[in-house]
Structure 1
């Protein structure tokens, strides 16, 4: 008789609610995602808002395809689908309880035909050639159970992320500046994306969001980027006008133009 393969053990999914905000945890007090109960379609956490930084550079349109690795509360995917009626989204998480929680506790609508919600290994997903050159945007929010650092940091992982993107395409990734893997993540991300990487300033709980670019070189004046940010802030209610200053002050760039 064949022995059954040992089943993978996942961190327990738990919740808390404080001042009208529901939080996701994976068996620890550390926050893995959040939703304001009376405003479930908005992005509550600042780093999650910055994960939408690709909006400064890409305009959602017909046949716009997005990917999220690490579902969490599903808030990033939910917000993305609300941007345009023709956007499609794929969200991937290895922990089945997280996938259930995103639906039952945080309102991710799995009946939306534009959404594919998959239980899968993120590294295997990005290395699968069937998934290459399929996505305009990739959001990576893969943290370990303690929420102390990214779950995936290797060169092969970031090379796979690059391969999943179309050209032009943009990746955003949530990193943790106080974790030992921070420099490793930045170096591997830069290697995979040819040093075309920008960093937001660090926000709450030491989160640092990086933006990486695939496709032709991009040059845009800071003034035009600020106009784009002002437009987005009116359209999306995100604090996008502050993003331009964060990027400009935190990266070595020309005084007049952003070139990446």
Structure 2
């Protein structure tokens, strides 16, 4: 068994070996070659295998890439919540045509993501903005092909990122064929309320993918209904995306459910 080590961080840009304040709520752990980020609780918010830092280690992040089954060639992505930057890095390295903007409210998390999770510096394809996600979404209508929302605080959904108004604004932030991707927890008592709000904002055009029992539930909401052929050819499309991105899309398709056929 390899040794387990946990290091806590306080402030921006401090090294892993520094003695730090555990009250900051943000800490990092390493075990069996996997570095994890924890925010506000012991739950793993983000994880990176040191041998393959640009791979998606957590299943739920792999599932969130399921949007490519319906929108395989996006040009602009907006991500709410950086964490360890797993999805931002994956898109940066595997989808080079995409311009990604990541909104993160906590500058400490941005510093740790860049110093210890190898998130690239800002350039013409990646921008990390310190801002509140709900406010940014509301002020940027029709700006994104894909909007990803992965916002938690102490293991719970951030209230400003799961309200009816937020989901209404999220729909407005998407371009014509845009897709909203939301990470929820299936064991959250309010999860069905969140899904119903998304359905109300997106006229029922919602599909869900359970990443793992009693774990993450990924919601896909479509600004406009995908073509009928998208559903009819879903398995063939999954095989193609699986070859391109090395993610188990054929397995995910079996668990993908339309909430209300549309």
TM normalised by structure 1 equals 0.86
Evaluate the alpha carbon distance shift between residue 67 and residue 208 of structure 1 in structure 2; reply closer, same or farther with a 3 A threshold.
Answer: same
- Find the aligned partners of 1:104 and 1:215 in 2 and give their Cα distance: 39
State the TM-score, normalizing by the size of structure 2.
Answer: 0.85
1:171-210 equivalence runs, <5 A = 171-203=180-212, 206-210=215-219
Deviating 4+ runs (over 4 angstroms): none
What is the aligned-residue RMSD (CA, Å)? 1.9
CA contact (8 A) 1:150 1:176 kept: no
1:210 aligned counterpart, secondary structure: strand
Give 5+ residue unaligned stretches, structure 1: 1-9, 254-258
1:98 is aligned, of 104, 109, 120, to 109
| Cα distance, 1:215 vs structure 2 | 2.5
Change (3 A) 1:147 1:140: same
Residues 29-55 of structure 1: CA distance to partner in whole angstroms, max 9, x if unpaired?
Answer: 111111111111111101111111110
Residue 206 of structure 1 deviates from its aligned partner by 1.6
Matched, 1:121 2:129: no
Structure 1 counterpart SS, 2:254: helix
Q: 1:40 is matched with which residue?
A: 53
Maintained 8 Å contact 1:175/1:208: yes
For 1:47 and 1:135, how far apart are their aligned partners in 2?
22
Aligned to 2:155: 147
Q: 2:179 corresponds to which residue?
A: 170
User: Retained in 2: the 8 A contact 1:193–1:212?
Assistant: yes
User: Could you tell me how far apart the structure 2 residues matched to 1:74 and 1:30 are?
Assistant: 16
Number of the residue aligned with 1:4: none
Q: 1:202 to 1:113 in 2, by over 3 A?
A: closer
